[in-house]
Structure 1
Amino acid sequence: MPAVEIHGPNGVGKTATARRRAATVLALDDPADRELVLADRSYPTRVAAPVLIDEWQRVPDVWDIVRRDVDARSERGRYLLTGSAVPTGVSLHSGAGRIVGLRMRPLSLAERAVEEPAVSLAGLLNGSSDIGGTTVIGLATYIEEIVASGFPDIRADAPRARALRLDGYLDAVAQREFAEQGLRVRRPQVLRGWLAAFAAATSTTASYNSILMAATPGESDKPAKTTTIAYRDVLQSLWLLDEVDAWLPTRNDFARLGQAPKHQLADPALAARLLGVDAAGLCSGAQGRASDLRPGTLLGALFEHLVTLSVRVYAAAADASVHHLRTTNGDHEVDLVVQLPDGRVLAIEVKLADRVADGDVRHLTWLRSQIGDELVDAVVVTTGRHAYRRSDGIAVVPAALLGP
């Protein structure tokens, strides 16, 4: 590609990854580099390629500089742009066809190397029926991975240091990054409460109004709905929300499907910290605040979050998108629907258990009856030890054994 823009939340590894591929680095959060580019707009076009322009949103004009240079020459692989926020108050010309955007997410389970994957998501999407493999990974490891974080630098720390750094990360969002995005928060404790309520709604489609009510229990002076919408918009611009959109196929032979997104933050460890729950708490069944926002347990919601994060990383590598399915009356739900560009789908249920009963696959068999051959495969992701295929054709795969 002539130019690739890597976006994602702070600390996810964008700069470290891009630096490995760059001959020239312009760090626009460095005043010296920023002044150089502002003084000489053509400078990035003259230096040795590949050129990494880090935190490009600090000088939004860089977008047009790169776009025009891509138009002016046919050189491939010249620019890497990285950014942890979408510029606010700035009108950018579309980079369509010139600048390709890629989202970098926190580390998936496969990237964390907790186990060697035995089942490929890309293979399942391509019709592979091979299912097999055994792992020693159990529930305790998944709980540790939930709280350890997929942010590469943070996860390397000891548990107490990780917790302090995640708290500092969230404090920086509320106290500094919101202001940098043009929204000064008068009452940071209200924002923190809203974030905690949002975390409590992890892996649900709870309404934003119910999240707002849960954020301020017993308070008469609640923030206006417009305020919480502004919170959501800024978090999206910082790539800290990673909600799963509803699957809305073009075919019309379905009963009505829900359109609400499923709520998730960028990393399940952020949700756990916002709720004040550590590995020991999750092991003992702690539910955190606002537990009435979700129908199941907090551990189940966070395990689904961890699996979803991993599936989204694998799906992106396979040029597939990830959605969820829920009928409007709630009769049927499928946790994840991975869709290929041609419309075929892979359906995934996430189950916090080490074995699968017939009742656990009823939504998958229902979907298969609805769309037939458009369903390339159906999988239940578990905390179990063995990957296998049931007699009804549905695959059972431990989360640690699923990879790209």
Structure 2
Amino acid sequence: MLIAKDYLDVICNEDISKEDKIRRNPALTRLIMRSYALNLCTLAKKTSILADVSVEMEGSSMKTFDDYTSALKRFFVIEDIEAWYPAIRSATVIRSGEKRCFVDPSIAIAAMGASPRSLEVDLKTFGFIYECMCIRDLRIYSQALGGNLSYYQYRYGLEADAVLQLDDGRYALIECKLGSREIDEGAKHLPELKGLVERQNKQERQMPLRLPDLMIVLTGGNMAYTRDDGVKVIPSGCLKD
């Protein structure tokens, strides 16, 4: 955590202005990163994040916000995730906003001023931190295969925290669940989404959509197995293998 906090200080006090030699406010940078962290792995709108920032720094404009976040993206501090648009259902019921994410969850923890002790009692926030960590690892370990990450969220509850697509067309639907008690909840949506693809293919037989090659729940547990519904339960620590 000391390394992450030091890196946060460098970002705010030096890096934010170094790349293009435009002087930016370290305090505003810190506020933007904190608000981003508090909305980690959610579909929070830019207007909501800016409103949060403006509580402590009045007069902050959307133009300024976009300038700062663009700088943070250019040197790989934040990296949002785009929505997956399969040819199923109406596009009007698929959430299309970007999922707010940091390149590494340790930066988010430092930005929000969290600690191991505070996360132990705030498991909801810890769950978002864990999802960010899974997304980081999925990005890294799939790079050699041309992996691309997105997310899917249907307005009425059907979702996948991550959709990992490879260059050869294969893709996996993935839910990230920190505790073993959440595995059933995480696994529930994945066969439902597969069934949605199957029903769409029966209706549109000329251009069928490929069925998911894998349905995965990434968990913080230590046991890997395949459920009766075909969902693979995989400890996140196994990704590197």
Inter-partner Cα distance in structure 1 for 2:240 and 2:104: 18
Q: 2:178 maps to which residue? A: 352
Q: 1:326 maps to which residue? A: 153
Q: 1:336 maps to which residue? A: 162
Inter-partner Cα distance in structure 1 for 2:22 and 2:196: 46
Q: 1:107 maps to which residue? A: none
Q: 1:48 maps to which residue? A: none
Amino acid at match of 1:375: P
Structure 1 gaps of 5+ residues are 1-161, 287-296
Question: What is the count of residue pairs matched by the alignment?
Answer: 227
1:188 aligns with 2:15: no
Distance 1:224 1:357, change over 3 A: closer
* Per-residue deviation, 1:403: 3.0
Amino acid at match of 2:167: P
2:150–2:162 contact (8 Å) kept in structure 1: yes
Once superposed, what is the RMSD of the aligned Cα atoms?
1.9
Amino acid at match of 2:42: T
1:209 aligns with 2:44: no
Inter-partner Cα distance in structure 1 for 2:190 and 2:68: 35
The match for 1:255 among 90, 98, 112 is 90
1:355–1:384 contact (8 Å) kept in structure 2: no
Map Cα deviations across residues 217-253 of structure 1 (whole Å, 9 max, x no partner): 266x23000000001111111111122221123x3x3
* Per-residue deviation, 1:169: 1.8
Inter-partner Cα distance in structure 1 for 2:119 and 2:175: 21
Other structure's SS at 1:375 match? coil
Q: 1:314 maps to which residue? A: 141
Q: 2:6 maps to which residue? A: 168
* Per-residue deviation, 1:356: 5.0
Higher relative CO (Cα under 8 Å, sequence separation at least 6) belongs to 1
Q: 1:92 maps to which residue? A: none
2:82–2:150 contact (8 Å) kept in structure 1: yes
* Per-residue deviation, 1:341: 2.2
Amino acid at match of 1:364: L
* Per-residue deviation, 1:385: 2.3
2:197–2:211 contact (8 Å) kept in structure 1: yes
Inter-partner Cα distance in structure 1 for 2:186 and 2:164: 19
The match for 2:127 among 287, 300, 306 is 300
Identity percentage of aligned residues = 25
Inter-partner Cα distance in structure 2 for 1:268 and 1:385: 21
2:183–2:217 contact (8 Å) kept in structure 1: no
Inter-partner Cα distance in structure 2 for 1:263 and 1:225: 17
Distance 1:265 1:356, change over 3 A: closer
1:280 aligns with 2:106: no
TM-score (norm 2): 0.86
Structure with bigger gyration radius: 1
